[in-house]
Structure 1
Amino acid sequence: MKTLLKILLATVLFATLSIKAQQDKNPNVILITLDGVRWQDVFTGIDTKLLNSSYTQDKDLLTEKFVGTSIEENRTLLMPFFWNTIANHGQLYGNRNKNSTVNLTNKMMFSYPGYNEILTGSADDENIDSNDKIYNKNVTLLELANTTEAYKGKVAGFGSWDVFPFIINDKRSGVPVNAGYMDATGDLNKREKFLNEIQRQAPVIWESVRLDVFTHQYAKEYMKKNHPKLVYISYGETDDFAHDGHFDFYTKSLHNTDALIADLWNYVQTDSFYKDNTYFIITTDHGRGEGIEEGSKWTSHGIDVAGAEQTWLAILGPDVTSTGEASNNQLYTNQIAPTVLKTLNMKIDSNKMPANSIDFKRP
């Protein structure tokens, strides 16, 4: 009898492990946004007009670090992971100098509407016309994934901006969100306890936006511990430094964010759960102005700022066709959510989300 019971228990355990292994074969997606980063910075490198403007305090330092002999060298100096890894093994969209365009469909052209469009696949200008902390009535891709058998309880969001619990609607969706100066909660490891201790000991530059290094480390520790299959990470420093008119800090922050993404990619390649089954989809919530004149100020974005509707997109992963820098194409930000869901092998309900996904995989 005991032998039979052991066999039955072993059979159940094997079946459970087999189901888990089968579920874990479902793809993983890390969706990443860099707040208010212009396509010009990604595709042409440091802006020499702004470098030589009153927005720059230490021109010599920026020149030494980020100015080379060509546009190609400049952009690689500024964002080496994008141009040494993504450009060689993935896809990059949005270089308008090559007639590759990515545009917002919302008319607001600032953060909450932009993130709503990225995460839901639709603009909602009627209901989302401010950055106020109002719970999003729209259902995000995170929430949709969290209702499926394959991804339920395996979705998480991390952001530097404290509005993300409202954008993702953590109360309704059940998706855990750590944003702003929120501490990690639950059964914490030593590093998470340490992050909770020091995140306000570092300089608090903006009360609503923490430094990106903390968002990054909270996300990475959560991934190591819980292995979520769909993770959203929003880095925020770039937009706030730009609003403050600090081109030095904006440029250094963009360079640092590129390094944070590289660090996360390198981690993914060493973790058996994520390795060879994880996609990075990277974009921004809006563009911003090009120069120093009113109506096109680099510090600004929104409906009255030329260029604020212009965005970009990068994709990297195991089955991504290595086409590098795209040309002669038109994409829209509202295509990102259905693209993520398609990558997760989720059926898209056209009543909840347009099914205009981007085809980036190998034939």
Structure 2
Amino acid sequence: MKLRRKIACTIWLVVSFELGISVAGQTKPQSELKTRNVVLIVTDGLRWQEVFQGPDHSLMNREHGGVENIDTLRTDFSRATSSQSRETVFPFLWKTFAHQGQIFGNQEKESIARVANQYAFSYPGYNEMIAGFPDPHVDKNDFGPNPNVTVFEWLNRIPELQGRVAVFGTWDAFKDIFNQKRSGLFISAGWDPIARAESRARQALIEDFYSTTTRLWDDNVYDAFLQPVVLDYVQAHQPRVLFVGYGETDEWAHSGRYDLLLRAAHQFDKFVEQLWNTMQSMPSYRDQTTFIITTDHGRGSGLTGWKDHGTEQKGSENIWIGVFGPDTQPLGEREHAPAVTQSQIAATLAALLGKDYRGSVPQAAKPLPDVVATRTSSTVK
């Protein structure tokens, strides 16, 4: 009998190790959390300045911002105060999300959010965000398959979540960042809309858009093309853990088009609202879904620095992070808050599902402070 017990215990430990689930893998029983689904949404390279201060008026011109229709841009997004202006660009973020959730990163209110990696560009940022720690070896955007297991891959190994984790992104590199081959995750990225709409006519239309539209960027599809693919998949398959990555805010900044950057940022806000409303209309998501929204890196400042990012552009390390859901206190725009890092997102995502990511990945940063309800936060490592 003792031998059988030893064998059973050994088998259980081996299986737990293979799944990447430690004995401390549970923070709290899921029944104590309302969140059953988590969505991480990223808009690439969107500065904290636009999010908190609204449009930069010194860039709303042709000379410094490449603006083609100045009067229309100012009519659409310029208001008397920065608070009013930011609401015109991000109405859902500031009228709903921030009031009912939390948002970190307004440096003018002593809330600092930064990347922990030394590079301040995309692949290192996404790796830090979803693996939970910066990797100095991940030092270029064409790095290839990510050697680090991400929180998405880790969650997908847990039986209750297996096959319920999905990744969507405009950038083709997400296939490597999430290591599609090793992780086995469902990934739709770049100009490859592999998700299938329930309607054949709708699917044919989406595929036609992808195949016939003139491409501005070979490795990055338009945000508007990604959105219906995401919505169709959510309605058909109801994933419990979802990543959505939009790219136009970064692309238009690199192109020196401040007007199109603002419009892409405004459209991003609409996409987040549309996805939220869609999920709240479904019983499996309503009142049990948390959104985390953020960016992978910041940018430089001034009349030219806003176009680029990286070690040579001061301020590129500064980001912003928002969380909105049933287990997050409505603290709103954080002020005089502890400094946070991009690396804390991975453990936060897992903790919202009642899982202790750091129990298996001790190098990962701890969850964001005061984001997971206090009844569970004391047990999160």
TM over 0.5: yes
Paired residue type of 1:182: D
- Is residue 2:51 matched to residue 1:42? yes
Measured after TM superposition, the shift of residue 183 of structure 1 is: 2.5
Corresponding residue number in structure 1 for 2:76: 65
Aligned counterparts of 2:158 and 2:198: Cα–Cα separation in 1? 27
Corresponding residue number in structure 1 for 2:291: 280
- Residue 88 of structure 2 aligns to a residue in which SS? helix
- Residue 151 of structure 1 aligns to a residue in which SS? coil
Measured after TM superposition, the shift of residue 216 of structure 1 is: 1.6
- Is residue 2:138 matched to residue 1:138? no
Q: 1:344 to 1:288 in 2, by over 3 A?
A: same
Corresponding residue number in structure 2 for 1:262: 273
Measured after TM superposition, the shift of residue 224 of structure 1 is: 0.5
Aligned counterparts of 1:185 and 1:317: Cα–Cα separation in 2? 26
- Residue 323 of structure 2 aligns to a residue in which SS? strand
Aligned counterparts of 1:186 and 1:221: Cα–Cα separation in 2? 7
Aligned counterparts of 2:55 and 2:212: Cα–Cα separation in 1? 31
Q: How do residues 147-166 of structure 1 correspond to structure 2 at under 5 angstroms?
A: 147-166=157-176
Paired residue type of 2:353: L
For structure 1, the residue ranges without an aligned partner over 5 or more in a row are 1-21
Bigger shift: residues 340-349 or 308-317:
340-349
Q: 1:93 to 1:349 in 2, by over 3 A?
A: closer
Corresponding residue number in structure 1 for 2:178: 168
For structure 2, the residue ranges without an aligned partner over 5 or more in a row are 1-30, 375-381
Q: Deviations over 1:63-114 (max 9, x none)?
A: 0000011111000001000011012111111001101010100011100000
Aligned counterparts of 1:87 and 1:25: Cα–Cα separation in 2? 19
One of 341, 344, 357 as aligned partner of 1:335: 344
Bigger shift: residues 264-273 or 189-198:
189-198
Aligned counterparts of 1:82 and 1:261: Cα–Cα separation in 2? 9
Paired residue type of 2:334: A
Q: 1:187 to 1:248 in 2, by over 3 A?
A: closer
Measured after TM superposition, the shift of residue 25 of structure 1 is: 7.7
Paired residue type of 2:55: I
Q: Deviations over 1:111-157 (max 9, x none)?
A: 000000001001011x2110005000001111001000121000000
TM-score with structure 1 length normalisation?
A: 0.89
Corresponding residue number in structure 2 for 1:5: none
CA contact (8 A) 1:192 1:221 kept: no
Corresponding residue number in structure 1 for 2:39: 30
Identity of aligned residues (%): 36
CA contact (8 A) 1:184 1:196 kept: no
Q: Deviations over 1:240-282 (max 9, x none)?
A: 1100111111110000110010100111110111111100000
Count of residues in Structure 1 that have an aligned counterpart in Structure 2: 338
CA contact (8 A) 1:184 1:192 kept: no
- Residue 199 of structure 1 aligns to a residue in which SS? helix
Paired residue type of 1:171: K
TM-score with structure 2 length normalisation?
A: 0.85
- Residue 207 of structure 2 aligns to a residue in which SS? helix
Corresponding residue number in structure 2 for 1:302: 310
- Residue 128 of structure 2 aligns to a residue in which SS? helix
Measured after TM superposition, the shift of residue 189 of structure 1 is: 3.8
Paired residue type of 1:273: S
Aligned counterparts of 1:185 and 1:266: Cα–Cα separation in 2? 21
Corresponding residue number in structure 1 for 2:209: 198
Corresponding residue number in structure 1 for 2:331: 323
Measured after TM superposition, the shift of residue 220 of structure 1 is: 1.2
Paired residue type of 1:37: L
